[in-house]
Amino acid sequence: MNIKRINRISEEVKKVVSDLIFNEINDPRISHMTTVSRVEVTRDLSFAKIYVSVMGDDKEKEDTLLGLNSAKGYIRREIGAKIDLRHAPEPRFFLDESIEKAIEMSKLIADVNRDIKDKIDE
């Protein structure tokens, strides 16, 4: 299948799942600080790898993944209803910690810059 079409479908799935998490799924296990960072749909449209970023501790991350996995059937049905596809891809959720790692790296860089500035000022 055309890679451009796969990318468009991936973006549409991302929009649908983001909207579902924020507006329709009322599972208390799913953190309010959950963001869909990216979606990769397989070439045969059978699976959608959905990467979510959750701000919080490890328990919140684990609970959010459990909540999303329990709502898999509902999410798949809504993807099929909102996107015109013959077969809706099965969602698979993965934790994406790239945002947290970027924040940590930014703090480390700021600390190094502050140390360098302090040595220059001495």
Give the C-alpha separation, 3 to 108, whole Å. Answer: 38
Tell the residue number behind the tokens 């449209």, with chain if given: 45
Domain presence at residue 81 = yes
In terms of Cβ atoms closer than 10 Å to its own Cβ (0-12, 13-18, 19+), residue 6 is middle
Number of domains in the chain: 1
Domain that holds residue 66: 3-96
Give the C-alpha separation, 108 to 73, whole Å. Answer: 41
What tokens were used for 19? 């909207």
Which residues partner with 36 through β-bridges? 52
CATH code (residue 10): 3.30.300.20
Domain presence at residue 110 = no
Q: Please, what is the angle between helix 72-82 and helix 3-19, to 10°?
A: 120
Q: Band the pLDDT of 92: cuts 50, 70, 90.
A: very high
pLDDT tens figures, 29-65: 999 889 999 999 999 999 999 999 998 888 999 999 9
